[in-house]
Amino acid sequence: MNLNAYLEFSPEVAEAKASGKPIVALESTIISHGMPYPQNVEMAKTVEQIIRDNGAVPATIAIMDGKYKIGLSEADLERLATEDNVAKVSRRDLAEVIATKRIGATTVATTMIGAAFAGIKFFVTGGIGGVHRGFEETMDVSADLEELAQTPVTVICAGAKSILDLPRTLEYLETKGVPVIGYKTDVLPAFYTGTSPYKLNGSADSVDTIASIVKTSTDLGLDGGVLVVNPIPKEHELDAAYIDGIIETAVAEAEDKGIVGKDITPFLLGKIVELTDGKSLKANIELVYNNAKVGAQIASSYNGL
Task: Report how far residue 85's alpha carbon sits from residue 31's, in angstroms, rounded to the nearest whole number.
Answer: 13
**Residue tagged active-site, from 69, 161, 262, 293:** 161
**CA dihedral sign of residues 157, 158, 162, 163:** negative
Task: Report how far residue 189's alpha carbon sits from residue 191's, in angstroms, rounded to the nearest whole number.
Answer: 6
Which residue has the closest beta carbon to Mn ion?
140
DSSP, collapsed to helix, strand or coil, labels residue 252 as helix
CB of 126 to ligand PSU, least distance (A): 5
- Binder of residue 127, out of ligand PSU, Mn ion, none (CB less than 5 to 8 A by kind): ligand PSU
**Residue tagged active-site, from 12, 17, 27, 237:** 27
Q: Is 27 a catalytic residue?
A: yes
- Binder of residue 34, out of Mn ion, ligand PSU, none (CB less than 5 to 8 A by kind): ligand PSU
Phi and psi at 99, nearest 5°, equal -65, -35
Q: Tell me which stretch binds ligand PSU (CB under 6 A): 40-48, 69-77, 123-131, 204-212.
A: 123-131
Which residue has the closest beta carbon to ligand PSU?
34
CB of 256 to ligand PSU, least distance (A): 19
Q: What is the CA radius of gyration of the chain?
A: 18
Q: Is 161 a catalytic residue?
A: yes
| β strands within 29-188, DSSP E | 57-64, 67-70, 87-89, 104-106, 122-124, 154-157, 180-183
Mask 30-59, x = binds ligand PSU (CB under 6 A)?
Answer: x---x-------------------------
Annotated binding site: 88, 108, 140, 142-144
Mask 82-121, x = binds ligand PSU (CB under 6 A)?
Answer: -------------------------xx-------------
Task: Tell me 91's DSSP state.
Answer: G
- Binder of residue 114, out of Mn ion, ligand PSU, none (CB less than 5 to 8 A by kind): none
Decide: is 237 part of the binding site for ligand PSU (CB under 6 A).
no
Nearest to 188 by CA among 228, 247, 241, 133: 228
Size of residue set near ligand PSU by CB under 6 A: 16
DSSP, collapsed to helix, strand or coil, labels residue 139 as coil
- Binder of residue 58, out of Mn ion, ligand PSU, none (CB less than 5 to 8 A by kind): none
The two most distant CA atoms of the chain are separated, in Å, by 53
Task: Report how far residue 184's alpha carbon sits from residue 176's, in angstroms, rounded to the nearest whole number.
Answer: 24
Task: Report how far residue 106's alpha carbon sits from residue 91's, in angstroms, rounded to the nearest whole number.
Answer: 9
- Looking at the Cβ atoms of 16 and 155, the one nearer to ligand PSU is 155
**Under rule CB under 6 A, which residues in 125-164 are in contact with ligand PSU?**
126-127, 129, 142-144, 161
- Looking at the Cβ atoms of 16 and 128, the one nearer to ligand PSU is 128
- Looking at the Cβ atoms of 16 and 163, the one nearer to ligand PSU is 163
Phi and psi at 163, nearest 5°, equal -65, -20
Phi/psi-derived region of residue 169, left when phi > 0, alpha when psi is between -120 and 50, beta in every other case: alpha
Q: Which residues bind ligand PSU (CB under 6 A)?
A: 27, 29-30, 34, 107-108, 126-127, 129, 142-144, 161, 262, 265, 269
Q: Which residues are catalytic?
A: 27, 161
